Amino acid sequence: MRKLLLFVTIFVALASYRIYIILNRPLPDNIKQPNVVRILDELGRIANYYVTNTRIANVPVKIIQPIKVTRPYRKAPEHPFPAGYTDCTDVTWQVLAGKSGVNVNTNKVLIAGDGSGGGMAAAVARHFPNKIMIQILINPVLQMLDFLTPSYQDNVDIIPGITSPEREALHWLLYVGQPIDFASKMTENKHIFPAAVQSHFNLVDSAKHLPTYLKITNRTTKIPREHDYSVATRLQTYITNETLSPMMHKNLQDIPKAYVITSQYDVLRDEAVMYTNRIHEDGTKVKLKHYKNAFHGFFLFSHESATFHLEEAKAALQELVEFLRIQVHGLSKPLREAYTV
C-alpha cells in the first residue's frame, strides 16, 4: 500500500509540473481574437485565457489556457497575508462591477478553488456575500487552529508528499510570514493559548460538527492541554482571523451557497466537512460531495483521455457539471437533449 501511495505522490508531482508547462505555452498562431475569461489560479497569477470547445464528462464545455499574465497577485513568503487576499478581492470586485473588461453576466459569478485556493475562494466569497452566486470549494484549507482533527490523525502519514500535518503547517507559516520552525509545535497543537481554545475550539469540534452518518472516522477531536508561549504569542492574531481562516467565522448565515468536495484520504477532510455542516445548520444552502476513495489533488485526474485518470475523479467532475447545469443554467433535461455542439 505504501509503495502504491509513493507512486501516486510522485505521479501527482510530475503531472502538476506537466500542467504547469502546458499552462505556459504561447497562444497558437491560429487564435486571433479569443474569447476571454479572467481566473484566479493557484500558480499565483491573475491571467487571461483563450477558450476552445471540447467535451468533459460527455458535456460540451470550455477548455482554458493562458494567453498572458495581466497582473500577478502578490505571493508569500515575499508578500505574506493579507497581500494575496487583497489582490484577489480587488480583481473580483472589478469583475462584479463590470470594470474588468470581461464580458460576463455579473448576476452569475461563481468562485472556485482547490486546496489553498479553496480557502481563498471561501474568504473572497464571504467578502461579497450578495454578489457571488456559488462558491465551489474542492478539498479546501479553512483553518490553522487544529492540526489534530480526526482527519489529521487518520492521514498523518498516508500521502506525505501531497498532504500531511507538517506540510500544511509549513504552508500556513509561509503564508503568514512566520518562522517555519514553529511547524513542529503546530502539529502537536501547542501553538494555541487556552483562551483561543475556550473561545474558538468549538468551531472545529468533531463531536458537534462531523456527521456520524458519513462514517468517515472512528477518531475524535483532541482538546489541546499544553502550549508553547513564544509560538502562541507570535501566532495568536492569525489563528482566529476570520479572513485568513474562514472556519473561524461564528456566523455562516450570510455567505453564498456552496458546493464542497472532500476526499477521504486528506488531512483537510474534516475541516471541510465540518464547515459544510455548520453552513447547513446556519441555514445557508450547501451541497457536500464526499469521495471515499479519493485523496488530496485527485480532481486533477478527471479527464478520461489523459494518460492516467481516476474513476472517482471522473465521477466528481460529472457530478459538479450536473450541479452547475441545474443551478446556473436551470437545465434539467438529459445531457444529450440539453446540450448541442
Single-letter residue type at 321: V
Give the pLDDT band of residue 2 (cuts 50, 70, 90).
low
Single-letter residue type at 183: A
- Output the pLDDT for position 91: 86
Residue 124 lies in a domain: yes
Are 228 and 193 in contact, with CB atoms under 8 Å apart? no
Identify the CATH number of the domain in which residue 94 sits.
3.40.50.1820
Residue 218 lies in a domain: yes
Q: How far is residue 121's CA from residue 110's CA, in Å, rounded to a whole number?
A: 10
Residue 41 lies in a domain: no
The torsion angle over the Cα atoms of residues 88, 89, 90 and 95, rounded to 10 degrees, is: 90
Quote the number of domains for the chain: 1
Q: How far is residue 310's CA from residue 315's CA, in Å, rounded to a whole number?
A: 9
- Output the pLDDT for position 306: 65
Residue 181 lies in a domain: yes
Per mean pLDDT, which of 60-64, 86-90, 245-249 is the most reliable? 245-249
Are 219 and 154 in contact, with CB atoms under 8 Å apart? yes
Residue 16 lies in a domain: no
Q: What's the mean pLDDT in 160-165?
A: 81
Q: For residue range 16-73, list pLDDT tens digits in order.
A: 444 333 334 444 444 343 333 334 444 333 333 333 444 434 444 443 343 333 456 7
Single-letter residue type at 184: S
DSSP 214: G
Residue 228 lies in a domain: yes
Residue 288 lies in a domain: yes
Residues whose CB falls within 8 Å of the CB of residue 80, separated by 6 or more in sequence, listed in order: 174, 175, 176, 177
- 235 by DSSP, 3-state: which? helix
Residue 240 lies in a domain: yes
pTM metric for this prediction? 0.81
User: What's the whole-number average pLDDT of the chain?
Assistant: 80
Q: What's the mean pLDDT in 135-140?
A: 96
Scan for cell 460538527, then name that residue.
209
- The boundaries of the domain holding residue 77 are 73-338
